[in-house]
Amino acid sequence: METKSVLITGAGRGIGCEIARALAADGYQMILIDKHFPDDFESTVELMTKENIPHLILQVDVSKKDERAWLLSEIKQTFGSLYGIVNNAGIHNHTQFQNLTEDMFDTTLDINVKGAVFLTQEMLPLIKDTGSIVFISSARAFIGSDHGVDYAVSKAGMIGATRSLAVELSPRIRVNAIAPFSIDTPMIAGDDETERQERFDHILLDRIGTPQDVAHAVRYLLAEDSSYVTGQVIHVNGGAYFGG
């Protein structure tokens, strides 16, 4: 069976790192990028090296056109083609509306949605038939936020991109999104006790989600098991939002 290469953005920590570990276990060749890799990412690199998983680890800012172009050349030279992209890179300012600046808004959209869209566009020549693209959106795209208008707007933009690209790239490439809610990552590590309790109050399954929960959904959307699924949003949220 042909080995497939998958590009994961924001792979250095949290959800992205867990997706990388899960897909490596499935035997994919890995291209892992992040703006900054933390020191503890070394354990992920060691895992792939130990398991003889072909991989590229590259420091890339997806909001920068020249860095995306360099990434394209590196992937083309090393692997020649791509099977899938997981657009996971993102930032969240946790800023209330009255304190939101235009610069903050622009930066959030540049990374969360503009970077994802144009990275996907630039990688298209490398993606083979039956390829799969996954956008990591958020339940905030549907239910809004009282501390991140910019974040909610960017994640809603990812949903629009998902549905539009599913139409435009069919039948050659499938495009889907995942919309998590309250996943236990550094992004919510700063919550105080009240904020964490508010998250629990919205979750029917009575636990905060894990990065593994999201990784399982990504594995499905990249696998042949989902070959008849495109243009969809999978809500990984413990019942906090039913979808629609």
| Among the ranges given (103-107, 147-151, 158-162), the one the predictor scored with the smallest mean pLDDT | 147-151
pTM for this structure? 0.93
Query: What CATH number does the domain containing 143 carry?
Result: 3.40.50.720
Question: Does the residue 41 lie in any domain?
Answer: yes
pLDDT in tens, 184-238: 866 555 555 656 556 666 788 888 889 999 999 999 999 999 999 999 999 999 8
pLDDT at 23: 96
> Is the residue at 32 inside a domain?
yes
Asked, for residue 30, whether it belongs to a domain, the answer is yes
pLDDT at 147: 83
Q: Give the mean pLDDT of 158-177.
A: 98
Q: Is residue 241 part of a domain?
A: no
Instruction: Indicate whether 108 belongs to any domain.
Output: yes
pLDDT (tens digit per residue) in 36-61: 999 889 999 998 999 899 999 999 99
Determine the pLDDT at residue 190: 58
Per-residue pLDDT tens for 97-137? 999 999 999 999 999 999 999 999 999 999 989 999 999 99
Q: Is residue 243 part of a domain?
A: no
Edge-to-edge strand list for the sheet holding 29-34: 55-59, 29-34, 5-9, 82-87, 127-136, 173-180, 233-236
Lowest mean pLDDT, pick from 36-40, 70-74, 86-90: 36-40
Residue 114 lies in a domain: yes
| Domain coverage including residue 227 | 5-236
Catalytic (active site) residue 151: yes
Domain count, the chain: 1
Q: What percent of the chain has pLDDT over 90?
A: 77
Catalytic choice (28, 151, 220, 228): 151
Does residue 228 form part of some domain? yes
Q: Residue 240 in contact with residue 203, Cβ under 8 Å?
A: yes
pLDDT in tens, 170-193: 999 999 999 998 888 665 555 556
